[in-house]
């Protein structure tokens, strides 16, 4: 296989008390997906699932069918988003717990720590100045909490299906800068892993290629990424899943246009739509840093957050399986010259329907994106 494609997996599609409390009984991401409406001519909304329907992750048959679809197209495994808010507080852990406990599906997996607070803004539309209602605040109480967290995920690390790199369990961190001292956390978990008969842990963090942009750094956009990546790697991370969305948006429209749109979107949400052609974004998506050994590119099939955010959404429109195939080829070129262990590409995502980022079949394209990925992964290197 030309690359090791790991697909981010959202375990949100089942009722939980917190969603019931804030959005009504039975709420899941499907609620917003089904209600989405087109915001401009040719806008593909609503996006409706095909083969799997509006599924419920409490059903083992659904999880089995997802794994079969993913395996058939060459995806190596799922990276399940894992929520640990501190002091033992977890949420949305039922689907993965069932996978772990049952041994089914027999499909590789790893975990990604979605270390961010959870507020009502997650799915609240059209209120630019609305205040957040905190559901769970992400906390970092100290070493004992890190230790408790480690032992909570240790059974997963030891499962034969767990994805490894260099013989170490792969663990992804969503927001590394939010951890008070990443190096201390990484060292602590590494020592615990070795004490528990693992070779260590292979830590990868998702990291934005650009910092918060301002008038001072807009003209330096092409020089900002390398020092950011070097700094975060110096904290002990083995690799970075590069997040180049913002960079591609700036390059696609020009820094001034993007800066104005960002301002309007922040303070006057919905007055203008922030939308980009998918293929134009993809033309700028891969950066020189993505070819470096410790940098693992991101691949997106499509992106449209309007089910969640309405007119405040970021929208990439006009994606097709053929255009996705070109994007996949560009990502694979970054890694296929590396040794097999390090040919990682992170696919964002398997089932983020509320963000319009999904590989699962829909009514418009069917299995088109799955077939496109399968074809490009099996293509022989020239």
- With tokens 């602590």, the residue in question is 188
Rg (CA), the chain: 20
Rounded to whole angstroms, the Cα distance separating 317 from 303 reads: 8
Q: Is 150 left (phi over 0), alpha (psi -120 to 50) or beta?
A: alpha
Are 4 and 344 a contacting pair, CB within 8 Å?
A: yes
Extents of the domains making up the chain? 4-378
Q: Which string of b and e fits 279-312 if b means at least 16 CB within 10 Å? A: bbbbebbbbebbebeebbbbbbbbbbbbbbbbbb
- pLDDT at residue number 304: 97
pLDDT at 132: 60
Place of tokens 């991370």: 237
DSSP string over 153-183: HHHHHTSTTB-EETTEEEEEES-GGGSTTHH
CA distance 333 to 268: 40
Topology (CATH level 3) of domain 4-378:
TIM Barrel (3.20.20)
Query: What are the pLDDT tens digits along the chain (382 aa)?
Result: 899 999 999 999 999 998 898 889 999 999 999 999 999 999 999 999 999 999 999 999 999 999 999 999 999 999 999 999 999 999 999 999 999 999 999 999 999 999 999 887 655 544 433 456 888 999 999 999 999 999 999 999 999 999 999 999 999 999 999 999 999 999 999 999 999 999 999 999 999 999 988 878 888 999 999 999 999 999 999 999 999 999 999 999 887 777 777 777 677 766 788 899 999 999 999 999 999 999 999 999 999 999 999 998 999 999 999 999 999 999 999 999 999 999 999 999 999 999 999 999 999 999 999 999 999 999 876 5
pLDDT of residue 98: 98
Q: Whose CA is closest to 153, among 141, 144, 162? A: 162
Interatomic CA distance for residues 296 and 293, integer angstroms? 8
- What pLDDT does residue 355 have? 96
Distance between CA atoms of residues 46 and 39, nearest Å = 10
Residue 352: φ, ψ to 5°: -85, 70
pLDDT at residue 131 in the model: 52
pLDDT of residue 122: 58
CA 149 – CA 114 distance, rounded (Å):
13
CA dihedral 15, 357, 370, 37 (to 10 degrees): 80
Neighbours of 323 (CB within 10 A): 17
Per residue, the 3-state secondary structure of 53-71, as one string, reads CCCCCCCHHHHHHHHHHHH
End-to-end CA distance of the chain: give it in Å, rounded.
Answer: 14
- 3-class SS at 259? helix
């Amino acid at each position: 296989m030309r690359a090791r494609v790991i697909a981010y997996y959202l375990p949100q599609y089942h009722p939980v008390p917190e969603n019931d409390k804030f959005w009504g009984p039975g709420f899941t991401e499907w609620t917003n997906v089904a209600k989405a409406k087109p915001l401009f001519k040719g806008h593909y909304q609503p996006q409706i699932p095909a083969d799997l329907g509006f599924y419920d992750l409490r059903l083992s048959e659904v999880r089995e069918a997802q794994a079969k679809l993913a395996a058939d197209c060459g995806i190596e495994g799922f990276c399940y988003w894992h929520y640990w808010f501190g002091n033992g507080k977890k949420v949305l852990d039922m689907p993965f717990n069932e996978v772990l406990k049952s041994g089914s599906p027999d499909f590789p997996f790893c975990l990604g720590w979605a270390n961010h607070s959870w507020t009502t803004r997650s799915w609240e539309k059209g209120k630019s100045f609305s205040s957040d209602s905190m559901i769970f605040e992400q906390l970092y109480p100290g070493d004992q909490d890190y230790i408790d967290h480690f032992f909570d995920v240790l059974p997963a690390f030891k499962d034969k299906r767990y994805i490894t790199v260099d013989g170490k369990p792969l663990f992804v961190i969503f927001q590394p800068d939010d951890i008070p001292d990443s190096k201390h956390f990484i060292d602590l978990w590494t020592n615990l892993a070795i004490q528990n008969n693992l070779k260590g842990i292979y830590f990868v963090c998702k990291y934005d290629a650009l910092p918060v942009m301002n008038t001072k750094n807009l003209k330096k956009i092409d020089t900002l990424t390398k020092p950011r990546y070097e700094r975060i790697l110096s904290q002990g991370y083995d690799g970075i899943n590069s997040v180049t969305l913002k960079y591609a948006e700036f390059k696609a429209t020009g820094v001034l246009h993007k800066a104005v749109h960002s301002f309007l979107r922040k303070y006057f949400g919905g007055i203008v739509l922030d939308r980009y052609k998918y293929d134009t974004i993809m033309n700028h998506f891969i950066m020189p840093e993505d070819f470096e050994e410790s940098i693992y590119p991101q691949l997106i099939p499509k992106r449209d957050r309007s089910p969640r955010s309405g007119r405040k959404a970021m929208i990439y429109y006009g994606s097709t399986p053929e255009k996705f195939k070109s994007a996949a080829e560009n990502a694979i070129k970054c890694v296929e010259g590396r040794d097999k262990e390090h040919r990682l590409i992170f696919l964002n995502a398997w089932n983020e329907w509320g963000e319009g980022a999904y590989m699962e079949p829909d009514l418009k394209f069917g299995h088109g994106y799955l077939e496109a990925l399968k074809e490009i992964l099996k293509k022989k290197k020239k």
